[in-house]
Amino acid sequence: MPEEIASLPTADLTLAIEAGDQSAINALAQEVHYADLAQIYQDTEEEKHGLILKSIGPEIASDVIVQLPDSMIEEALDHFSPSELKVLFRELTDDDRVDVLQDVGDEARQRYLGLLGPEDEELTRSLLRYEEDTAGGRMTTQFGRLFASMTVKEAIETLRRDQEITETLSRIFVVDSKGHLIGRVRLRDLAFNSWNTPIREIMKEVGPEQRALATTDQEEAANLLLKYDLIVLPVVDEFDHLLGIITHDDAMEILQEESTEDMEKLAGIAGETVEETYLQASVLTHFKRRFVWLFFLALLAIASGYVMMRFEGTLMKIFLLSLYLPMVVAAGGNTGGQASTMVIRAMSLGELTEGTSIRVIWKEFRLGMILGCTLGCSIAALTIFVLPAFQPELPSGVTFTRFGLTVAIALAAQITTSTVIGALLPLGARAIRLDPAVVAAPAITTVVDVSGMIIYFTIAQAILGL
């Protein structure tokens, strides 16, 4: 609904771009939010990118460029002269500047670093040392920092002086004389207290759990913001010196990215989540991410075919077995996929610490038994009471009751096995420091296809005496 109301300036901007009207583009760009501007930029054909960037100028462009997919950033920066780039980089907050520099080639990165002032260059180089997906790699150093020994008056003066360079004053952190993080104050605490109150008296302590080490994984850090309802999370080094903060909007982005990544991995889509939207990404990009698993799984599926061929004799004797073959096999894939999804999601929500693996497997084992027995009994009942009405042929000595029993036991065994495998694989992956989500549901499906064939035919041989 809000988008309908907003459609006018963005629609005008699109028209101005079509018409190549630089001054109209510039005027309209002031009215449109940078997130929408970035969207329009991406939806415009590449030949017009230079026109857009030149028209809006380096200051507005700096807001737009940080919103672009990684792969489009270097091309966008190429449209600017060195002097324009100086302006552009000065406009960026330090964490955005680092993000941008992480997304360009080495040569370009060095060239851009040379355009920064000496202070900014030093700061940026120090931030670039952190891995891109850690708390340090995502933090900003532009925030309100006060000493506990200051008065409210000194604090307000400090913040007033720094306000241009601070990204948020929603939370202001308090350090001791050595720079250790000890507390936080809110701007309202300063505004509503008398000027000679010491900061130490009005600050709230920051608990040891409400901070992240710079080397912490970004998802873990974002989960802390979520758990403790924080607007900003302070980032410290191993000696508890306050280094920077991660803001709520970055945390939200991190969590969304990680969710997308988990979902894609679960569906057997390889590689990093691309920042292009679904429609922007080329067919080739999609192809590359999907083919790897598809190919690997196809080879793996030959194992199922091989097992089936080995049981040719059994199948020949009672071809009615094929009626339930896809069901037994698929039921394993379905329960295995359910189990792995539940376990992987619980892990990424931080619910399953390493010590809980045994409890998880015990839970899935019981679940598998109950699911398998319930489904097995239902299908057995169907086989015994409904199937005879269709008058299929059974070889002498084989009854519908025995046939139903075969299916029931096979389903129970297959589902129990698959459920446990579905939980075991991601837990095992984590134990050897792999991303649990990489054990995609399709992989589990293919693995339990093989076990399903073996279980089904072996039980049939035993019970039906084939």
- Of 153-192, binders to a copy of itself (CB under 8 A) are 156, 159-160, 163, 169-170, 186-188, 190-192
The least CB distance from residue 435 to a copy of itself, in Å, is 15
The least CB distance from residue 56 to a copy of itself, in Å, is 17
Within a 10 A sphere around the Cβ of 351, how many other Cβ atoms? 11
3-state secondary structure of 271: coil
Q: How far apart are CA 348 and CA 254, in angstroms?
A: 12
| Minimum CB distance to a copy of itself smaller for 116 or for 244 | 244
| Minimum CB distance to a copy of itself smaller for 121 or for 275 | 275
Q: Which stretch binds a copy of itself (CB under 8 A): 44-52, 111-119, 289-297, 455-463?
A: 289-297
- The continuous run of DSSP H or E covering 243 comes out as strand 242-247
**Residues 354, 355, 361, CA angle at the centre, nearest 5°?**
90
- Count Cβ atoms within 10 A of the Cβ of residue 299 and give its class: 0-12 exposed, 13-18 middle, 19 or more buried: exposed
User: Is position 305 an interface residue for a copy of itself (rule: CB under 8 A)?
Assistant: yes
Among residues 45, 107, 209, 354, the one that binds a copy of itself under rule CB under 8 A: 209
Question: What's the chain's length in residues?
Answer: 466
The least CB distance from residue 412 to a copy of itself, in Å, is 13
**Among candidate residues 427, 417, 441, the one with its CA nearest the CA of residue 358:** 427
Among residues 445, 459, 460, 464, the one that binds a copy of itself under rule CB under 8 A: 445
| Minimum CB distance to a copy of itself smaller for 203 or for 325 | 325
| Minimum CB distance to a copy of itself smaller for 149 or for 282 | 282
Q: Which stretch binds a copy of itself (CB under 8 A): 72-80, 81-89, 121-129, 284-292?
A: 284-292
Backbone phi, then psi, for 81, in 5-degree steps?
-75, 160
The least CB distance from residue 395 to a copy of itself, in Å, is 14
| Minimum CB distance to a copy of itself smaller for 78 or for 272 | 272
The answer to whether 336 touches 445, Cβ cutoff 8 Å, is yes
Q: How far apart are CA 68 and CA 295, in angstroms?
A: 32
DSSP 21-60: -HHHHHHHHHHS-HHHHHHHHHHS-GGGHHHHHHHHHHHH
Within a 10 A sphere around the Cβ of 366, how many other Cβ atoms? 12
User: Is position 355 an interface residue for a copy of itself (rule: CB under 8 A)?
Assistant: no
User: Is position 152 an interface residue for a copy of itself (rule: CB under 8 A)?
Assistant: no
User: Is position 367 an interface residue for a copy of itself (rule: CB under 8 A)?
Assistant: yes
Q: List the x/- string, 251-270, binding to a copy of itself by CB under 8 A.
A: xxx-xx--xx-xxx-xxxx-
- The continuous run of DSSP H or E covering 232 comes out as strand 232-236
The answer to whether 91 touches 99, Cβ cutoff 8 Å, is no
Show contacts with a copy of itself in window 306-325 (CB under 8 A): 306, 308-309, 312, 316, 319-320, 322-325
Q: List the x/- string, 101-140, binding to a copy of itself by CB under 8 A.
A: ----------------------------------------
Backbone phi, then psi, for 230, in 5-degree steps?
-90, 150
Q: Which stretch binds a copy of itself (CB under 8 A): 43-51, 326-334, 424-432, 457-465?
A: 326-334
Q: How many residues bind a copy of itself (CB under 8 A)?
A: 119
Q: Which stretch binds a copy of itself (CB under 8 A): 18-26, 71-79, 122-130, 276-284?
A: 276-284
DSSP 382-417: HHHHTGGGG-----TT--HHHHHHHHHHHHHHHHHH
Among residues 27, 108, 301, 361, the one that binds a copy of itself under rule CB under 8 A: 301
Q: How far apart are CA 17 and CA 22, in angstroms?
A: 8
| Minimum CB distance to a copy of itself smaller for 161 or for 178 | 161
| Minimum CB distance to a copy of itself smaller for 93 or for 112 | 93
The least CB distance from residue 16 to a copy of itself, in Å, is 18
Show contacts with a copy of itself in window 69-98 (CB under 8 A): none
For 364-370, which contacts have Cβ atoms below 8 Å and span 24 or more sequence positions? 364/339, 364/419, 364/420, 364/422, 364/423, 365/416, 365/419, 365/420, 367/339, 367/419, 368/335, 368/339, 368/415, 368/416, 368/417, 368/418, 368/419, 368/420, 369/412, 369/416
The least CB distance from residue 100 to a copy of itself, in Å, is 16
- Residue 318 is given by DSSP the state -
Among residues 17, 417, 449, 464, the one that binds a copy of itself under rule CB under 8 A: 449
Partners of 235 in beta bridges: 212, 244
Show contacts with a copy of itself in window 383-422 (CB under 8 A): 411, 415
User: Is position 442 an interface residue for a copy of itself (rule: CB under 8 A)?
Assistant: yes
Dihedral sign of CA atoms 177, 179, 181, 185 in order: positive
Show contacts with a copy of itself in window 218-247 (CB under 8 A): 224-231
| Minimum CB distance to a copy of itself smaller for 76 or for 352 | 352
| Minimum CB distance to a copy of itself smaller for 352 or for 424 | 352
Among residues 13, 248, 430, 436, the one that binds a copy of itself under rule CB under 8 A: 248
